[in-house]
Amino acid sequence: MGSNPTGTEPFYKGFPQSVRAFSTEELVFDQLLHYFVTYGFGDFDEAGHSVFEKDFERVAFHENTEAQEFIIQTEEEAEETIQTIVYNLLSGSRPLSERQYALSLAYILEHDEDIPDIASKNTLVRFLIDTKKLSLSDSLNLSDIMKVVDELNYRNYKNDNPKKRNLKNQDRKFLTAVLDRMFKGGRCDIRTCYEKKQLWNGFLHHIHYQPKNEAAEIFVRAMRGKGNKSVYSEFEKLMRENRRQEAANLLRENKGTI
């Protein structure tokens, strides 16, 4: 394919000198066989020694190489390193691996007073469920509560049907507290919630939600009452009236451009 395997750099420190000396044909055959045994037969337990190598017990750092596999840090330095790693992970919008999430979760549980901004809304929802820290909900919109409910429903109850819920009493109290905090903070954009009005209505009924202030009262009446004032409903109304430019402006202002 126009590349020379024998001229490439080793792909990890301590790569055996005996393998580096193979011819191009030996390297290609050895790699094909290795991948076939490992992934074809699912044999991940045995070390991937080359069939062309001499029989010997490979020892770490047996070959001549400059290796640095670890560094020694003080406790303070390690704390700073972990903080940097966690901050970098949470600043990205991509979902975290389970290992990355576990590290970040452990950090957040230990540092209540210094929780960094979390760019990924999916990650934020998971943290909110696992930590029960209501302050994390301050970065969510009211319409995001359905994400929290769906995630809780799926992860804790193995239920992927958004219309079927059987939440425990402790989960009902937790979600009620999140709603109360949002309404108290004035974060109650009703219009964006109309799009899932039926789900909202069922959810409010399931947790036996009782409004604590006027904002909550208005929202509950809107979700339980008749009519639908969502952006899409208004868009469809304008289109039926042949007010196409107004309909397009409505979508652009409220849903953004594609």
Give the whole-angstrom CA distance, residue 241 versus residue 235.
10
Give the whole-angstrom CA distance, residue 77 versus residue 190.
47
The answer to whether residue 175 scores a pLDDT higher than 70 is yes
Check if the beta carbon of residue 183 is closer than 8 Å to that of residue 220: no
CA-nearest of 140, 188, 180 to 151 is 140
Task: Quick: pLDDT tens for 238-248.
Answer: 677 687 777 67
Distance of CA 178 to the CA centre of its chain: 20
Q: Is 113 exposed, middle or buried (0-12, 13-18, 19+ CB in 10 A)?
A: exposed
Give the whole-angstrom CA distance, residue 229 versus residue 222.
9
3 state SS for 31-99: HHHHHHHHHHCCCCCCCCCCCCCCCCCCCCCCCCCCCCCCCCCCHHHHHHHHHHHHHHHHHCCCCCCHH
In the numeric block, which tokens belong to residue 6?
A: 């024998």
The answer to whether residue 117 scores a pLDDT higher than 90 is no
The answer to whether residue 2 scores a pLDDT higher than 70 is no
Give the whole-angstrom CA distance, residue 206 versus residue 145.
14
Give the whole-angstrom CA distance, residue 233 versus residue 219.
18
Q: How much is the pLDDT for 122?
A: 92
**Average pLDDT score over residue span 186-215:** 86
In the numeric block, which tokens belong to residue 169?
A: 């009493």
Which amino acid is located at 54 in the chain? K
CA-nearest of 250, 223, 222, 226 to 236 is 250
Distance of CA 191 to the CA centre of its chain: 26
Give the whole-angstrom CA distance, residue 117 versus residue 220.
30
Give the whole-angstrom CA distance, residue 156 versus residue 150.
10
Distances (CA, A) of 33 to 1, 25, 48, 88: 19, 12, 10, 39
pTM confidence score: 0.61
Distances (CA, A) of 36 to 33, 41, 177: 5, 7, 54
Q: How much is the pLDDT for 169?
A: 93
Place of tokens 């769906």: 150
Task: Quick: pLDDT tens for 96-110.
Answer: 999 999 999 999 898
When comparing pLDDT for 58 and 191, which is higher?
A: 191
Task: Quick: pLDDT tens for 40-80.
Answer: 777 766 666 677 776 655 555 455 556 667 788 888 998 99
In the numeric block, which tokens belong to residue 20?
A: 């580096």
